[in-house]
Amino acid sequence: MDATTNNKTATLTVGNNSYELPILTGTVGPDVVDIGKLYAQTGMFTYDPGFTSTASCQSKITYIDGDAGVLEYRGYPIEQLAERGDFLETCYLLLYGELPTRAQKDDFDLRITRHTMVHEQMARFFQGFRRDAHPMAVMVGALAAFYHDSTDINDPKQRMIASMRMIAKIPTLAAMAYKYSIGQPFMYPKNSLSFAGNFLHMCFAVPCEEFKVNPVLSAALDKIFTLHADHEQNASTSTVRIAGSSGANPFACIAAGIACLWGPAHGGANEAALAMLKEIGSVDNIPEFITKVKDKNSSVRLMGFGHRVYKNYDPRAKIMQQVCHEVLAETGHHGDPLLKVAMELEKIALSDPYFIDRKLYPNVDFYSGITLKAMGFPTDMFTVLFAVARTVGWISQWSEMLEDPQQKIGRPRQLFTGHTRREYVGIDKRD
């Protein structure tokens, strides 16, 4: 179902002139004022740094109610998908719009797990990177450079093939980036394993030893992937859509999304949250840290807290906290002092007026760093894991954008505040 107008309008008054702007209604969520013709009608732009009040597209994929703490993929609550389904089922749902039947699911799983190998030349490509290159940099380079323009982006069948390739092969590239950074040989994927189990195998197995996938850790990783699969028009997804709006190939678009995800305010937050917990070190140091966070001159933030959209508990954070306890119990880290610091920090922050007034609640990244660390992942792999999971969301949104008849190249305007026209002065005549 597309947005409806219901003949509702908003009136904009500028001086003596009034303009009627259509109001569009979706299936759920706030209405939007359609300002697409505003410049043509009034000669004015709108101004919205950070797009806090701007809907950049129509989408049927993911719905968030930030005030109520709701996240739904194609209408299904994240709690139900994480508890009752698995990551590949979520991938199918995001790509096709419906949950698969048993036969569709079996076929989809087979198609993904049978396409996990990457071209052997990729192994040589990795040698070009410095040994200590960040795995995110390796991922961006590998995707953008290696997979050239092989997809007719206007053909839905080819778009789906590219999407499946990406979901299947990005974990392999991610695991290779990790192995390269620690100087271990690459492990070929094992098609008999589950998606998450295979990823653990490619990261942690070595050729000289038998490796058995731990089912608790594999189930936990699968849940973590589901929680991160999509999150509507966040910074990296918007980056993918903007990159795709120019007609760039899907591999380059996903590389752009990975680059955006890298930042500490987005996907890098779990790495930053873990670093913060380590810096605090013990429960005794929390009050001093909280004082710094509240000091406007300190620029210290409570990492893993706050969200542009959620002004309530991030629904992913609740599931993540439970996964964290399961993983730490399984790996024997339940006494981890960092977990104690995290739980105490959460308790204090949730009762402190500074956080309550600003509606700052734990987000998904608050517990994911401790969890991934306990699973054996080094911190610079955290964002890579996020990218592995988010690939399906990015590619579903990219495909939806290309199907949208209203799709145009993304091209925001600006409010210019620089110099007005002035004459060039030769270098010898400048003071």
Binding site for ligand CMC (CB under 6 A): 231, 234, 265-267, 269, 293, 301-308, 358, 360, 363-365
Closest distance of CB 345 from ligand CMC, Å: 11
Closest distance of CB 98 from ligand CMC, Å: 26
Which residue, 367, 378, 364, 306, is CA-closest to 136? 378
Strands in 32-33's sheet, in edge-to-edge order, are 9-14, 17-24, 32-33
Closest distance of CB 424 from ligand CMC, Å: 39
Handedness of CA 372, 373, 377, 382 (dihedral sign): positive
Question: How far apart are alpha carbons 319 and 249 in whole angstroms?
Answer: 35
Residue with tokens 């839905």: 156
Closest distance of CB 379 from ligand CMC, Å: 15
The amino acid present at 83, given as its one-letter code, is: E
Question: Is-contact 198 113, C-beta < 8 A?
Answer: yes
Which residue, 49 or 335, is less far from ligand CMC as judged by CB? 49
Question: Is-contact 64 309, C-beta < 8 A?
Answer: yes
Question: How far apart are alpha carbons 141 and 384 in whole angstroms?
Answer: 13
Which residue, 136 or 360, is less far from ligand CMC as judged by CB? 360
What is the maximum alpha-carbon separation in the chain?
80
> Residue with CB nearest ligand CMC?
306
- Residue 365 among the catalytic residues: yes
Rg (CA), the chain: 24
| Marked catalytic residue, from 230, 314, 365, 380 | 365
Q: For the residues of 90-125, what is the DSSP string, one character each?
A: HHHHHHHSSPPPHHHHHHHHHHHHTT----THHHHH
Which residue, 163, 162, 171, is CA-closest to 196? 171
Which residue, 14 or 265, is less far from ligand CMC as judged by CB? 265
Question: Is-contact 364 227, C-beta < 8 A?
Answer: yes
| Marked catalytic residue, from 307, 314, 333, 380 | 307
Q: For the residues of 311-378, what is the DSSP string, one character each?
A: SS--HHHHHHHHHHHHHHHHHT-TT-HHHHHHHHHHHHHHH-HHHHHTT--B-THHHHHHHHHHHT--
Question: How far apart are alpha carbons 158 and 151 in whole angstroms?
Answer: 6
- Residue 307 among the catalytic residues: yes
Closest distance of CB 338 from ligand CMC, Å: 16
Question: How far apart are alpha carbons 143 and 255 in whole angstroms?
Answer: 6
Closest distance of CB 269 from ligand CMC, Å: 3
Catalytic residue set: 307, 365
